[in-house]
Each structure stands twice: as C-alpha cells, then as structure tokens.
Structure 1
Amino acid sequence: MDAIRRFVWGPPPETKTEAKLLRKIDFAMLSFVCLMYWSNYLDRANLANAYVSGMKEALGMTGDDLNKVNTCFTVGYTIAQIPQNLALQFVPARILFPLNMVTWGGLTMVTAAAKSTSHLCAIRFFQGMAEASTFVGAHYIMGSWYKEDELCKRAAIFSASAQIATLFSGIMQASIHTSMDGLHGLAGFQWLFIICGLITVPIGIYGYVCFPDTPERNRSILFSPEDRALAIARVPKRPETKLDRTVFRRVLGRWRWWLFCSIWIVGGELESIGSNALMALWMKNRVKAGEASWTVSDFNYYPNGATVVSIVSLLLTAMYTDWNKKRYHVNLLIAVVMIVSASLILAQSQLGHGAIFFAFYIAGVSYAGQSSNFSWANDVTRHDEQERGIILASMNMMSNAFNAWWSIILFPANHAPKWTSGMISIIVLAPIIVVLSVAARRLQLRDQRREADGALMPGGDGDGEGADADEKDAESLASEQP
C-alpha cells in the first residue's frame, strides 16, 4: 500500500511539520494557478464552441477566419511571453497574475459585443498578451516550491485544469444554448462570453489575498515566518545568479535552451488535433455533407471524450515520471499515439465514424507533454534562476510563434474533414520529437555525471571539462538505452 502511495503522490515528507507545509502550499499556491489556468482556458475553449454554436453565422465568418482569430491571439501571446515572465523576477506574482486576470476577464466580456471577425482579432490579440504569464509563470513558481519528485504531478494537475475547462466549456455552452439563447436579445454564445468573464473576478481577488508567490517573496496571510523559512530550506539551495549581460552566454551557450525549445515546438504542434478543435469541425462537416445528423449540443458534448483522455494521460504519465525520473519517455509515447491517430483520420473514407471518434479521442494523449516537458526543463535548470525563467518562457514562445502560421496553413477549418497536409505533418513530426528527446536525455546524463565528478559546476556550460570525463561519459551513456 505504501508503494502505491509513493507512486501516486511521491515519498512522504520527512516530518509532520513539512507535511503540513506541503498541504498548505498545495492549497494556497496550486489551487490558485489551477483556477487561473482553468478560467483562461475556459474562454479559449468557448471560442471554438461558440463558433459551432451560432457565432460563425452571426458574424459572417467564412473559410479560415477562425484560424485568423486564433493566430491573432497567438501573436499577442508570443510577443508578451518573455517580457511578462521576466517581469516575475521583479513584480510580485500575487499582483501580476490577478492584474492579468482582471484584464483577461474584461476582454472576454467585450467579446460578446463583437460584430465582425476584425473585432474578434483585435480582442484576442490583447487577450493573448494578458494570458502570456499564466502557463510559463505558473511552471516557474511551481519549480520554486516543489522538489523534483513532487513537481510533475502538480504540473499535471495544473495542465489538467485547462482540460477540465475544455470539458466544462462544452457542457456550459450546450446548457446556455438550450436555456439562454435569445434571452434579453443576446445569443447563447454571447451569454457564454459574459458569464465566463465574470467568473475571473473572484479568482483574481483570491489570488491577490492568498497566493504566496515564490518562497523568498512569500507574503501570503496563510504562511507564518516558520513556514516561509522551511519552504526555502526544503528545496535544494540555488546558486546566486543575476539578470545581467552574462545571461545570454549562460542561456545560449548551453544545450538546454536549444533542445528544450525544439522539443516544445514539435510537442506543441503534435497537439494540433485538439488545440484546433478539429473533432467539432469534423462533426459539423459531416452533418453538412449529409453523412450524420448531429446537433449543436452534440458538437459540444462528443469532443469531451478527447478531453477526458488528456486528463487521464497527464496524471498517469506524471506519476510515472516522478517515480522513475525519465521525463522523456512521455514524448516517446506521444509520438506513437499521434502516428496512429493521424493515420486513422487520413484513412477515414475506409472507416466508420466509430474509428474516427477513437482517432480524435486518443489524440488527447498529446497533452501529456505539457507537464512532463516543462517539469523536465525545471529539473535541469534549477541551478540558474534566470536561465530557468528564460527557457520556460522561450519554450512556450517559440511553440506559439510556430503555431501562429502552422495552424493557418495546415489546419484551416475549410480543410475538413481530413486535413491531409496537417495529418502528414503530425506523422513527420512524431519521429523528430523522439530524436530530440533522446538527445536531451543523453546530454542531461552527461551533465549529471560531470557534475558528480567535479568536472562541471552546477548548471555550468562545460568549461574546464577534461578528456577523461569525456571518455567516462561515453562509456556510461552507452550503457543506458533510451
């Protein structure tokens, strides 16, 4: 029983005092970042649900207009990534996060008044800027509080909160479309945006009052001075590093920035089936072609199967990688599953609807990379705070920079039902993420062995390494099979 508990939730804290502190951290810190991400993703999911629930017709949207709106969001999100997340080095997160939430919520409510695709593009651009600190900022803060064997499970719960929002959004849209469509002259999708925006206000207030920021800057009313001291002492001590001109050499002169950004560029695009709401678009296309008789409610309910798969995948893979410390295994799993999913969608003319539902559902596994890859990056950059912040932000920024044009070219709404070019791109990207992940794992092991032998300073770039260390690495790396 103890072995099962260790696998599911990690080894127990060393003392009762530490156990109490960990519960307090989960309550105050993890609960807020999950609620924040949940509310952000609720509106992201609502846009796709609104599109298939009357917004397309109401705003006269055609062709790839939905992709253009999503791209405007991505551009704003990408531009603000590094500035927003570097701001966390100076601005308390308990101020920055709630401020962005209030901005986000206000823009969400304004979306209900949009009269054209151009209005949507402008609103989504600024929403992207307001959300830029949420995902990476939360991973940065979590990496400051949790030990390595505690981190990925919490990161998975955080990522799962977005998928729960997607699940909730479909049910919410279907219910509002049924009960509120036409109320006070507003369409159901307009009420959806108004309600979603209002939800963010109490969450923002909760964050301002209770969110503890990093252990060193913790001013939350829930933590005593003793709690703050223990929170700092329980995680490995980090060397003092500064945000100065050496940061470029420290970041760009090491392998971590290059490989983790490349991994997440590919990993982000492997999420394309879910992130572009392809299942709902496919269902609407099949109805239009006369091959099915699904309703608006069905468009919102049936894709939830993929969301459930993503939540389960996030949690199970997080337990596994916190247990064996091999985060890269998740990318190998994603590669295999996505090849199967894309192949089935390409072959849909020879298959029934059940097989295509299965293909869309298993694509939810692609989201497991969110917790594993960002936890992995947190693990290997713990010795340099500025490198850690820049790499986490760069991973998300580079992925979204690619996604800004990738989805327009390869997954436009009018390429339904097969998205042939997009599915081929997924099949090509799958082996690439395997190669990148294995390379990053081997370099991680090399650094760990050099550090243990004293040939590499913690978090260093390899200066002063000798030939003997290289020979020892070659022998030890050859013994590990990825």
Structure 2
Amino acid sequence: METSKTSLSARQDRHGLESTGDYGSIQSKSGSPVTELVKAQPSTTWRSYIWDTLDKSPEERRFLLKLDGVLLTFASLGYFIKYLDQVNINNAFVSGMKEDMALFGNELNYMQTCWTVGYVLGQVPSNILLTRIRPSVWIPTCEVVWSVMTILLAKCSTTTQLYVLRFFIGTAESAFYPGMQYIIGSWYRKDELAKRSCIFHASGSIGTMFSGYLMAAVHSNLNGVHGYKGWQWLFIIDTVISLPIAVAGFFLLPDLPEITKAWYFSPIEVDIAKKRMEFEGRANRAPYTRAKLKRIFSSWHIYLLTALYVFFNNGGGFGGQPAFQLWLKSKGHSITEINTYPTITSAIAVVATLVYAWTSDTVFRGARWPPIVFSGVVNIIIYSSLAAWDIPDGWKWTCFLLSSLGGGISGLTFAWAHEICKDDNEERAIVTASMNEMAYVFQAWLPLLIWQQVDGPEYPKGYATMVGVAIALICTSFAIRYLQHRKRGGM
C-alpha cells in the first residue's frame, strides 16, 4: 500500500508555515487554523443553492476551485471520450458499416455483448487496484489502451476481429467510470457530491451527442477520402480526440487526499482536503482482512445498492440498440438526420442530470431518493407508451426524446453509495465497482433476449420489460431509504 512519506509537520516547516503536527494548529496565510477554514457543518444560505462553494471560507473556496477545475475537467473529458469510443459502434452501424460488412443478423448484439463482457470482468479488480496504487498511473494507462484500440476498428474486415477488439476495449474502459466515481467520492462532501457526480455523468451524454454530430460531419466530408468509408473515419478521429486527453491524466489526476502529490495544491490545501473528509467521516485506506471482507459481504449495502444500479442501468437506453435511429431510418430520414436528431435526447439528458443534482443537494437537502423515484415514474409512462407502439407519431417523438430523463440519476446513486459506505474505504471501492459491474453483467445477456436487432424498431419485449424494471427501481429506492434511516436511528 502506497503512503506519503513526508510528515505533516515537515511539509509545513518547509513552506514556512507554523505547525505542531495537528490540524487545529496549521496556519493559513490569513493566520486561521484549518479547523476554522473548514466547518463541520457547511453553511446553507441562499447562495449555496446556486453553487455550494459560495458560503465557504476563501481558502476552502480556492481549494475547491482548483479541485473542480482539474478533477472535474479530467473526469468529464475522460468520460466524454469513453462514451465517444463506446457508442461510436452504433453510429457507424447505421451509417454504412452494416451494409459494407454484411451485418444483417444479430452481429451488433454480439459486438455489444463482447464489449460488455470485457467491461464486467475488469471493474472490481480495477477498483481494488485503485485502493493500492496511484489512480494517476492506472486510469490514464487504461485510457491510452482503449484509445489506441479504437482506431484498429477501422481496419477490421471480419466480425471476429470486431468481437475481439470490442472485448478488449471494454476491458480497458472498465477502469474509468467506477474508478472516477470512487475518486470523486474521496474528495467531496455531502453537499457537493451529487452535483459533481452528476456533472461527471452528464459528460457521457455529451459524448453520445457529439458522436452523432461527428458521424454526420465525417460522412459528409470524409467518406471515401484515402479509401476509407465515413464510418471508418469515425474510429480514426475518435482516437485522435481521445489520446491527448488520456496522456494528460498522468499529469493532472490528483489521486486521493491522503496520498496526493498534485503539483497544483499547496500544503495547506492538502490539509484542508484531509480535514474535510475527516468531518465527513469518510475513512482512509486500510488493509484488506478476512473480517473486513466478511463485513462487506454480509451487509445490505452491497446487495441493495448494486440492485439499485442494475435497475437504473438496464432500465433505459434501449439495451444499446439504436432504436430512435432505426425508427427514423424506417421513416425515410437521411443519414445526417438519423445521426443528429437523437442528439436532442442527449441534450435533454444533460439538463435533466443537472436538475436532479441541484435539487438533490439543495431542495431535498442531500436526499437522493426523490429524483430517483421521479425518473422511475417517467420511465413507466414512456415505455408503456412505446410498448403499445400504435400511438401518434408526435407522442412517439416525445417518448424517444424524453427516454433519456431516467439516465440522469447515475451520479445520485453513486453519491448515495459514498454516503452509506463512508465508514469503510475498501467497502466503498468494492460497492461502487460492484454496482457498475453487475449492471453490465445483466446488460451482457438481457439485450440478447429483449432487445434483439431483428425486432427493431418496435422491440415489443424490450419496452414492456422496461416498465417492470422501473417499478423495481422505485421499490428498491424506498427499501434503501428505510434501511438507511434505521441505521441512523431515524426510524
């Protein structure tokens, strides 16, 4: 296990700050100790409803400005390129790849499944590694790997090559989302966490949206250039965009507060970060023991939080199928329209995600379940309508466009997990990885049953199943709320 070898007092002496080795006596430039710069109970005036840093001390505000500027920027750009590289297969498929490679069966399902299997296998081992090695080494390395592999998709001539590459791309990408959620949960307080988790998650919707615009532009301007089809150029350009962002992570990712060596933080800001997590009761890293593992796997945390995320992740998105695009194609729309109209759905997802985050942190005072239940109710209405299918085209447009409203709660589920598991760092890492992993375990096989390519765009089994999943999401949310209140002595 990696630990900092520089003592607190030595760091302070080297920078000319007064210290006797405890938080209360560490002095900032203004002469205030860290215990005065960081409050045990953050203020909640009207300004906090706009942005949560506005009521905090200048020193803590300066620290959060740096943290947001670096960590959130890197997390969002990284998730943007992950989703860009993940969903490009759908845009390529409906933009000539299907016809050029004669993919007229369920090959798209199999490509999605190969990616999912790799994604599933890597998540828990990756998050366990993050509790032992520096995230600033592990996560950027995985990003470089999947970025390079994406460009190789342009040279595939057989479905076997596609399947193999998609498997290894999924394995490399498995480190990013649960890993970054774990890192975000290691730096932010309860009144800050949902907004950051949701801003991070929203960048995936931006990646989906941008992929559609990119495919439309590539098809119009690069199709046939140097002998490559438009869908092949999509993979090439994805890598050109992704690789620089991946390399930047080696220099920007701040690791965790207890081991950070980030060049942009001063010693006093590192100590502010540690004190903030101390007030939150968020545990530092500790050894894995048999007793710890027994405690983790005998608690309701891992099972109900995982179930919640399984229902969220498999309760929308059409099982990875381009349902909206296929419906547009069946209506005779052009390639450009097929790739650009669905980006409206992604834009709606971004707005909904941010609304969920702000209302959870402010209006509901940190409660995560109300927006989650709301999204479940919306899904019941939307997918019941699509299951009927014989509905006016105007309402069908509405259902497709609003189908992304349920996708904005991912950050809330992770924020909830960080708060529930705050007493054990290793439990937090394992639970967050398990949530994402098991969600994709179901995603590996469920679409093969209910979202078959040959059933599109009607998907009678898929839409009906989504109604049941939404009901399960709502019930699980209430169960977690009850058990969390009972744990706190609130019930």
By the TM > 0.5 criterion, same fold?
A: yes
- Per the alignment, residue 231 of structure 2 pairs with 189
Within 1, Cα distance between the matches of 2:264 and 2:225? 42
Question: Which among 314, 321, 327 is matched to residue 276 of structure 1?
Answer: 321
Counterpart of 1:65 in structure 2: which amino acid?
E
Counterpart of 2:373 in structure 1: which amino acid?
L
Question: Which among 412, 423, 434 is matched to residue 372 of structure 1?
Answer: 412
- Per the alignment, residue 401 of structure 1 pairs with 441
Q: Provide, for residues 160-199 of structure 1, a one-character-per-residue CA deviation record: whole Å limited to 9, x for no partner.
A: 1110011111111100100000000000111110111122
Question: Which among 285, 297, 302 is matched to residue 341 of structure 2?
Answer: 302
Question: Which among 381, 385, 396 is matched to residue 356 of structure 1?
Answer: 396
- Per the alignment, residue 18 of structure 1 pairs with 60
Is residue 249 from structure 1 mapped to residue 249 from structure 2 by the alignment? no
Within 1, Cα distance between the matches of 2:65 and 2:221? 40
What is the deviation of 1:3? 5.5
Within 1, Cα distance between the matches of 2:256 and 2:127? 13
- Per the alignment, residue 332 of structure 2 pairs with 293
Within 1, Cα distance between the matches of 2:50 and 2:176? 26
Is residue 311 from structure 1 mapped to residue 353 from structure 2 by the alignment? no
Within 1, Cα distance between the matches of 2:210 and 2:476? 35
Within 2, Cα distance between the matches of 1:282 and 1:349? 13
Question: Which among 455, 467, 474 is matched to residue 434 of structure 1?
Answer: 474
- Per the alignment, residue 421 of structure 1 pairs with 461
Q: Kindly, what percent of the aligned residue pairs are identical? A: 32
Is residue 40 from structure 1 mapped to residue 85 from structure 2 by the alignment? no
Within 1, Cα distance between the matches of 2:210 and 2:53? 32
Within 2, Cα distance between the matches of 1:4 and 1:122? 53
Q: Taking structure 1 as the reference length, what is the TM-score of the superposition? A: 0.89
Shift in alpha-carbon separation, 1:247–1:29, aligned structure 2, 3 A: same
Number of residues paired by the alignment? Answer: 443
What is the deviation of 1:347? 2.6
What is the deviation of 1:271? 2.1
Q: Provide, for residues 67-109 of structure 1, a one-character-per-residue CA deviation record: whole Å limited to 9, x for no partner.
A: 1101100000001111111110112111111101110111000
Q: Report if aligned partners of 1:9, 1:153 keep a CA contact under 8 Å in 2.
A: no
- Per the alignment, residue 161 of structure 1 pairs with 203
- Per the alignment, residue 320 of structure 1 pairs with 359
Within 2, Cα distance between the matches of 1:282 and 1:4? 45
Counterpart of 1:326 in structure 2: which amino acid?
A
- Per the alignment, residue 457 of structure 1 pairs with none
Is residue 62 from structure 1 mapped to residue 104 from structure 2 by the alignment? yes
Q: Provide, for residues 107-163 of structure 1, a one-character-per-residue CA deviation record: whole Å limited to 9, x for no partner.
A: 000011111222111001001110111111111000110001101101111011110
| Map 1:136-147 → 2, pairs under 5 A | 136-147=178-189
Q: Counterpart of 1:216 in 2: which secondary structure?
A: coil
Within 1, Cα distance between the matches of 2:450 and 2:45? 46
- Per the alignment, residue 308 of structure 2 pairs with 263
Within 2, Cα distance between the matches of 1:133 and 1:416? 32
Q: Provide, for residues 259-301 of structure 1, a one-character-per-residue CA deviation record: whole Å limited to 9, x for no partner.
A: 00111111111123274332112222x2xxxxx2201111101
Q: Report if aligned partners of 1:281, 1:413 keep a CA contact under 8 Å in 2.
A: no
- Per the alignment, residue 248 of structure 2 pairs with 206
Shift in alpha-carbon separation, 1:366–1:276, aligned structure 2, 3 A: farther
Q: Report if aligned partners of 2:216, 2:339 keep a CA contact under 8 Å in 1.
A: yes
What is the deviation of 1:247? 2.7
Within 1, Cα distance between the matches of 2:464 and 2:416? 28
Aligned CA RMSD, in angstroms, stands at 1.5
Counterpart of 1:222 in structure 2: which amino acid?
Y
Q: Counterpart of 2:327 in 1: which secondary structure?
A: helix
Within 2, Cα distance between the matches of 1:225 and 1:295? 57
Within 2, Cα distance between the matches of 1:370 and 1:200? 23
Q: Report if aligned partners of 2:353, 2:408 keep a CA contact under 8 Å in 1.
A: yes
Shift in alpha-carbon separation, 1:223–1:118, aligned structure 2, 3 A: same
Counterpart of 1:202 in structure 2: which amino acid?
P
Q: Taking structure 2 as the reference length, what is the TM-score of the superposition? A: 0.88
What is the deviation of 1:11? 5.5
Within 2, Cα distance between the matches of 1:302 and 1:274? 19
- Per the alignment, residue 155 of structure 2 pairs with 113
Segments of structure 2 that go 5 or more residues without pairing to the other structure are 1-43
Q: Report if aligned partners of 2:202, 2:408 keep a CA contact under 8 Å in 1.
A: no
Within 1, Cα distance between the matches of 2:306 and 2:259? 29
Q: Provide, for residues 8-43 of structure 1, a one-character-per-residue CA deviation record: whole Å limited to 9, x for no partner.
A: 323635310100000000011111111111101011
Within 1, Cα distance between the matches of 2:225 and 2:67? 43
Is residue 27 from structure 1 mapped to residue 69 from structure 2 by the alignment? yes
What is the deviation of 1:368? 1.5
- Per the alignment, residue 231 of structure 1 pairs with 273
Q: Report if aligned partners of 2:75, 2:180 keep a CA contact under 8 Å in 1.
A: yes
Q: Counterpart of 2:64 in 1: which secondary structure?
A: helix
Q: Counterpart of 2:155 in 1: which secondary structure?
A: coil
Within 1, Cα distance between the matches of 2:350 and 2:128? 30
Counterpart of 1:113 in structure 2: which amino acid?
K
Shift in alpha-carbon separation, 1:390–1:347, aligned structure 2, 3 A: same
What is the deviation of 1:330? 2.0
Shift in alpha-carbon separation, 1:276–1:247, aligned structure 2, 3 A: farther
Q: Counterpart of 2:390 in 1: which secondary structure?
A: helix
Within 2, Cα distance between the matches of 1:223 and 1:274? 42
Counterpart of 1:165 in structure 2: which amino acid?
G
